[in-house]
A and B are shown apart, each in its own frame.
Chain A
Amino acid sequence: MTLAVRVIPCLDVDNGRVVKGVNFQNLRDAGDPVEMAKIYGEEGADELTFLDITASSGDRETTYDVVRRTAEQVFIPLTVGGGVRTPEDVDKLLRAGADKVGVNTAAIARPELIREIAERFGSQVLVLSVDARRCTPTPDGASVTPSGYEVTTHGGRRGTGIDAVEWAHRAAELGAGEILLNSMDADGTKDGYDTAMIEAVRKHVTVPVIASGGAGKLTDFAPAVAAGADAVLAASVFHFGDLRIGQVKDALRDAGHPVR
């Protein structure tokens, strides 16, 4: 009895619509996150993640509706992140049908938010999303943070000077049940996950780590797991139909990792 490595597709949702293009057949509405979620569920996705990038918080009702409709039809865990700032935001998403909630920027600004959410809803609902990148060394060769990895905001454009490994560790201590580790260097490159960063974080946290950023081909997934990831997340390779969930699982299985 060994826990399976989770394969998690992530959908960017803007105003209730999937943002990135999709290339699936038999899809009535390729822009509908609920339809996409159903297909991924049927293909064997172990969880689903929605990243809500809706700019205006006034349009949040659309997001709750999408979550509600998804939870009615898809019976696997659903994580929703993006713009979560308060325990009330968490409450609304959970009530709509989310099983876990991703928290990112708001926790950087106010780490106590992690404790507040964990105490009220339990650690298991809280996925701390860390957008991290390798630090650019200073002229004297020293790295900006002890681990050499730094937390960023604004989609990786802004450095915070916070050590990414220390932040992941601290967040877990504060009550985060899981770390979603997104490499801003690897994101979008399709050159594979940042395995060195996964290893660095794995050494310092005992909660599950989800690897994100850089998946491009079938051989990219097993190294992330070997580096210590408990789950692998990808977006565009699934949406564009480059890779199917089943293929990724076969590749992981062939590499000796248990999958569902």
Chain B
Amino acid sequence: MSNKSVVVLDYGFGNVRSAERALAHAGAQVEITRDYDKAMAADGLLVPGVGAFAACMEGLRAARGDWIVGRRLSGGRPVMGICVGMQILFGRGIEHGIEAEGLDEWPGAVEPLRAPVVPHMGWNTVKAPGDSQLFAGLDEGERYYFVHSYAVRTWELEVTNPHVPAPKVTWSTHGEPFVAAVENGPLWATQFHPEKSGDAGARLLRNWLDTL
């Protein structure tokens, strides 16, 4: 049991209860709130997200979540985004032809997934870098639960400074390759739902908690 404290950011667009239960199950002390002091003080901040990109961004800004995430990151405090909570970390989202600005922590666009059957719904495998901490101890054939119609198809951030560790990007494929997870300094994210991914998801959440 990690005994780490995690705040699940409550901005009206996440499956906060599922995230709370899964994190508690993984051993964390969890609170669902949008309180600035609490969100800043927690060992980790988890940003869930369900629904439309633009609506999530609107909700996030209304709850001053954009500010909380930014402040935590500038202090090197861990943040993890899940599903749309990952998508909004990118530069922009394009849904139904409408473009919305994201938090732009990472350059790139969230675009419609081109596959015969969409949403991409169900359990898929991923290809994680060998030195991934998030997927440590998890077999390559392990499956995670995805539910999404939009995805990041191109990873654009290039780190050229040799003193800055390169981001670890994990990929999956549904019709075409897309970003399934990112580990970049204090900012981690998954397109899939670890809180709904059974034992594999629990292990993954513990891996995150262990880094806090």
Interface of A toward B, CB cutoff 8 Å: 1-4, 6, 41, 46, 71-72, 75-77, 94-95, 97, 99, 121-125, 177-178, 206-208, 230-231, 260
Question: B121 contacts the other chain (Cβ, under 8 Å)?
Answer: yes
Stretch at the interface among B14-22, B69-77, B152-160: B14-22
What interface size band does chain B fall in? 35 or more
- SS class, residues of chain A in contact with chain B: loop
CA distance A122 to B124 in the complex (A): 21
User: Is A124's CB under 8 angstroms from B121's CB?
Assistant: yes
**A76-B196, A121-B50 given; A6·B117 CB < 8 A:** no
Question: B202 contacts the other chain (Cβ, under 8 Å)?
Answer: yes
CA distance A71 to B50 in the complex (A): 17
User: Is B195's CB under 8 angstroms from A75's CB?
Assistant: yes
Question: Could you tell me the distance in whole angstroms from the C-beta of A64 to the nearest C-beta in chain B?
Answer: 12
User: Is A97's CB under 8 angstroms from B17's CB?
Assistant: yes
User: Which of A2, A77, A178 is packed against the most chain B CB atoms within 10 Å?
Assistant: A77
Question: B126 contacts the other chain (Cβ, under 8 Å)?
Answer: yes
Stretch at the interface among B3-11, B36-44, B99-107, B143-151: B143-151
Known interface pairs A77-B193, A206-B116, A206-B118; 20 further A-B residue pairs with C-beta atoms within 8 A, sorted by A's residue number = A1-B127, A1-B172, A2-B173, A3-B121, A3-B122, A4-B124, A4-B143, A6-B122, A6-B123, A46-B123, A75-B21, A75-B197, A76-B145, A76-B196, A94-B15, A99-B18, A177-B119, A177-B147, A230-B121, A260-B143
Interface of B toward A, CB cutoff 8 Å: 15, 17-18, 21-22, 25, 50-52, 116-127, 143, 145-149, 171-174, 193, 195-199, 201-202
User: Can you offer 21 A-B residue contacts whose CB atoms are under 8 A?
Assistant: A1-B126, A2-B173, A3-B122, A4-B124, A4-B143, A6-B122, A6-B123, A46-B122, A75-B195, A75-B197, A75-B199, A122-B51, A123-B119, A124-B149, A177-B121, A178-B119, A206-B116, A206-B117, A207-B118, A230-B121, A230-B122
CA distance A42 to B190 in the complex (A): 24
Question: Could you tell me the distance in whole angstroms from the C-beta of A75 to the nearest C-beta in chain B?
Answer: 6
**A4-B124, A124-B121, A124-B147 given; A75·B22 CB < 8 A:** yes
CA distance A178 to B18 in the complex (A): 21
Question: Could you tell me the distance in whole angstroms from the C-beta of A13 to the nearest C-beta in chain B?
Answer: 20
CA distance A77 to B171 in the complex (A): 22
Instruction: With CB as the reference atom, state the residue of chain B lying closest to A121.
Output: B51
CA distance A6 to B202 in the complex (A): 20
User: Is A207's CB under 8 angstroms from B119's CB?
Assistant: yes
Indicate which residue in B52, B116, B196 contacts A75 across the interface (CB closer than 8 Å): B196
Indicate which residue in A1, A76, A99 contacts B15 across the interface (CB closer than 8 Å): A99
Question: Could you tell me the distance in whole angstroms from the C-beta of B144 to the nearest C-beta in chain A?
Answer: 10
CA distance A1 to B191 in the complex (A): 15
**A72-B21, A121-B50 given; A230·B117 CB < 8 A:** yes
For B21, the chain A residues whose CB sits under 8 A away are 71-72, 75, 97
Question: Could you tell me the distance in whole angstroms from the C-beta of B30 to the nearest C-beta in chain A?
Answer: 13
For A95, the chain B residues whose CB sits under 8 A away are 17
User: Is A122's CB under 8 angstroms from B50's CB?
Assistant: yes
Instruction: With CB as the reference atom, state the residue of chain A lying closest to B83.
Output: A124
User: Is B121's CB under 8 angstroms from A71's CB?
Assistant: no
